[in-house]
Structure 1
Amino acid sequence: MVPSLFSSVAILLLHLFLVSSASATNFTCTGLATCQSAIVYTSPAATTYIELLSSFETTTLHDLFDANGLPPSTLSHTAIPANATVIIPFRCSCVAGANRSESQPFHIIQPNDNMSYIAAQFDDFVTYQEIAAASNISNPDFLEVGQELWIPLPCSCDQVEGNNVTHFAYKVRAADNVSKIAARFGVKESTLLKINGITDPKNLTQGQILDVPVP
C-alpha cells in the first residue's frame, strides 16, 4: 500500500507542477481595451468544427473557418483529427491590468468532473487555480453539477513595437523551436523572444505557453 500511495502522490504533484508551470504569466495588458485574440488549440480527440464551436462559444462558425484558412462553404461537420491544431478566436478584455477572454468560454460541470480535467479540456491554457479564481470557487475539490465555470483564456491587447497585433496564445510542442514558431506565424524571432522574456532560444519547454504577436 505504501509504495502505491507514494506513487499516486508523486504523480499528482508532478501533474500540478506541470499545470502550474504552463500558466500564461507573460501576457500583459497596460491599458483599458478590448480586442480580438486567439489560442492555438490542440484537439485531444477527433472532433468537428461545429462541436468545437459549441465547446468554446467564443466566435461564429464563419470566423472560425476564416481563422483557419477555410472557405465559408466549409461544412460545419468537417472533421478535425486528434492532435490537430485549430486557431480559436475570442474577444479579449483588458481591465485594471487583468487580461482574459471576455465572458466566454464557460464550462457547465458534469458528473465526475474535476478542475484538472476541465482545464485539460481547454488544452491547459489556464490552470485549474485560475479557473477557480475567475469563477469564485473557494474549494476546487467541491463542485456542483450544473454549475457554470468561466474559463479565463490568456490574451493581450497591447501594441508591440508600436504596431497593432493579434496576440495568439501558443503552447510549445515537442518538435518546436523559436525559428519554427516565428516562421509559422510571420513574427520576427527577436520580437517573439522579447515579448516572452526568453533570453536563450534553446530554453523552450514542451507545454510552455507563448504570447505570439501576429502582425
Structure 2
Amino acid sequence: MAPPPPSPSPFPFVVIVFVIVFFSLPLVSLSKSTIEPCSVSDACPALLGYTLYADLKVSEVAALFRADPFALLAANALDFASVPDVPDRILPAGLFLRVPTLCSCADGIRKSLSTRYRTRPADTLASIAADVFGGLASADQIREANGIQDPSAVDVGRTLVVPLPCTCFNSTDNFLPAVYLSYVVRGGDTVPAIAARYSTTVADILACPSMFPRYASDYGMLVANATYAITADQCVQCSCGPGNLNLYCTPASLAVSCPSMQCRNSKLMLGNATIQHTSAGCNVTSCDYGGFVNGTLITKVSFTLSAPHQLPPVFEPPTSVIRESYLAPTPSPIPEAEPGGPVPSRKPSPSVAGTFTLPGVSPSVGPAGSSSEGTSVDRMSYILNLLLFLLLLIFS
C-alpha cells in the first residue's frame, strides 16, 4: 500500500493570510510618543503640531491650549500686528499650526500639563482625545491624569487636565539650538516615508537661543527659525532667521503701556542700529534686548560686523487651506503659502502621536533613538502577533 501523499506545507496558506491581513486590517488606534526621562523641575519651550478640527477663532485655539493669541500667531509667522481684531479672526478647519507650550518634568518624564479642557454635552474621553486634540493625547492618558474611574461617565462642565507630549533634549541637536515639535502621524503615513520627506526622524527645528539672565522672566526663550515670539508683557517681539540664527528683538506695539526701550548711555532705541561702511565690511552698532526683569526691559549696545538683520516674512491669517497629499514634496524652508505648509482637511481617522519635523521648516537630524513608531509599525506588530496565533492553531 502506497504511503499517503505528504500534506501540503502550511506556510503558503499562512503567507496568503499574512498578505490579506496586512492590506485589510483597519488601522490600529494607539497613542505613542517619544518619551524623554527627566529628573529636574525646569521647563523648556516646545511646540505642539495641531490641525484644526473645525473653523475656530484665533482666540479659541489659543484658549484650548491656554496660550496667548498673539504668541500663537507669532509662532506661525502670521501677522499679529497689522490685522485688525486678529484674535477674532476665524482660521479654517484643516490648518496646521505650531502651538507654543512649556515642556515640564512630571512623573519622571517630559510632558506639557498646562492645557485644560472644560467638558461639554456628548463629550467622551475618546472624542476629546481624537477629535478636539487631534490625537496628541490618548483617552487613557486623560483618564489617568484626572483619576477618572469610569471613562464612559464624564461629567459635563468638568475641567480636565490634558497631558500633551513634548521633549526638550536640552533644547539642542548636534550641539545646535533647537526646539522640538510634537507631530501626530496620520493614517497612511509611514515612518520611512515621513523620515524620507523631512530627512529626519524627529521634529527638531533650528532655533535662535536667548542669552537672558536666569532672573529674567523670559529666561530660556527659544524662537524657531523663520518665526516670531512675543515677550515682556507683549511689549517686545523677537524673531529668528532667515539669514542667521541670531535672536533679533524690536518693540511689539501690542501693549497699551511699556517701559523705556532706550539703550542706556545711547540714543538708540530697542531694535535700532547704525551702520558704518568700511573697507572691511559693515560696522553695526545696535540696541539689543537682554530680558524682562521686574517690569523693566534690559537693553544693551552691541557692536558687530554683520549686515543688517533680515526679518522673516509674515503672512495674513489664511481663510482656507489647500488640499494635497501628506507625502507631497518637501516645501521650501521659507513658505510662500500658508505657514506650516498646506494640509488636507481633517478626517476622522486613527492616529499615533509621534514627533516628526514640521512642514515648511528645514530640519536637522535629532538624537538617536528618539523617533516614534508610526501607524504602519503598530499594524505590523499586530500582524506578527496574529501570525504567531495562526501558527499555533496549525501546529496544535
Tell me the TM-score normalized by structure 1. Answer: 0.74
2:57 paired with 1:48: yes
More helix by share: 1
Q: How many residues align?
A: 183
2:100 paired with 1:85: no
Q: Partner residue of 2:366?
A: 191
Q: Partner residue of 1:126?
A: 137
**Could you tell me the percent identity over the aligned residues?**
22
Aligned residue among 146, 154, 169 for 2:157:
146
- Measured against aligned partners, the alpha-carbon deviations of 1:84-131 in whole angstroms (never above 9, x if no partner) come to 1011111111135222113x2111122221111111200111100000
- Structure 1 residues 108 and 177: alpha-carbon distance in aligned structure 2, compared to 1, 3 A threshold: same
Taking the aligned partners of 2:51 and 2:367, their CA distance within structure 1 comes to 21
Taking the aligned partners of 1:178 and 1:168, their CA distance within structure 2 comes to 14
Taking the aligned partners of 2:37 and 2:361, their CA distance within structure 1 comes to 21
Bigger-Rg structure (1/2): 2
| Equivalence map 1:107-118=2 (5 Å) | 107-118=117-128
Q: Partner residue of 1:155?
A: 166
Q: Partner residue of 1:6?
A: none
- Structure 1 residues 192 and 179: alpha-carbon distance in aligned structure 2, compared to 1, 3 A threshold: farther
Contact 1:119 1:128 in 2 (8 A): yes
Q: Partner residue of 2:110?
A: 99
Taking the aligned partners of 1:112 and 1:83, their CA distance within structure 2 comes to 23
CA root-mean-square deviation? 2.7
Contact 1:158 1:164 in 2 (8 A): no
Tell me the TM-score normalized by structure 2. Answer: 0.42
Taking the aligned partners of 2:129 and 2:137, their CA distance within structure 1 comes to 6
SS in 1 for 2:198: helix
Contact 2:36 2:169 in 1 (8 A): yes
* Structure 1 residue ranges without an equivalent (≥5): 1-13, 199-203, 209-215
- Structure 1 residues 167 and 195: alpha-carbon distance in aligned structure 2, compared to 1, 3 A threshold: same
Contact 1:30 1:158 in 2 (8 A): no
SS in 1 for 2:73: helix
